[in-house]
Amino acid sequence: AQAVARAGLHPTTPPPPPQPRKAMSLLRAACAARWAPQAGLRAAVGLPLPAASSRGLTALAAPGRRSDLDKPQAVVRQLTPLGLGEPLGKRNAGVSVLGCAIAMVAVGGCAQGIGQLFAALVVGMARNPSMKEDLFTYTLIGMGFLEFLAIVVILIAGLLLYSE
């Protein structure tokens, strides 16, 4: 209360409003912080930067470093994210083809499984001819599972082929 009285203010008067320059500089800093990641990604891709981010970034720069921010390479280097968020620099088309080829090897495994299934059917019918109908039913169920597996593998191979 004594400090308020010394300042010449009445205890019930509201504090003076903030100065507009400080409020505007805080607003510009908040806008620049919000636009900085998007500006880095846009600059890395080659898209035009929004006007608010350009003004905000130059307003935050020190007077001596303004010439550094005028260069587009410096802005890209400063704002480009690193790690998992880094944009893909070169396309690795061969990797997707190799992934597709490896997945297609599994289709060969499904074909081998169908061959073994029918070989087991022949052996089972030779050992016990009276179980012919049951063995054939089990063979068809097993073949359905193997065909389903082959279809899933082909779908995954297609996804791998066109993933990039």
Interatomic CA distance for residues 41 and 1, integer angstroms: 53
Domains of the chain from N-terminus onward: 2-85 (no CATH), 93-161 (1.20.20.10)
Interatomic CA distance for residues 121 and 115, integer angstroms: 10
Report which of 157, 120, 158, 160 is spatially closest to residue 140, judged by C-alpha positions.
120
pLDDT reported for residue 52: 47
Q: Which two tokens stand for residue 17?
A: 């409003």
pLDDT reported for residue 120: 96
**Amino acid (one-letter) located at 87:** P
Residues of the chain with pLDDT under 50: 52-53, 56
pLDDT reported for residue 158: 87
- pTM: predicted TM-score of the whole model, two decimal places: 0.43
Contact yes or no for 72/43 (Cβ under 8 A): yes
Interatomic CA distance for residues 67 and 17, integer angstroms: 35
Interatomic CA distance for residues 141 and 135, integer angstroms: 10
Residue 20: φ, ψ to 5°: -65, -30
Summarised one tens digit per residue, pLDDT across range 25-41 is: 777 887 777 766 665 65
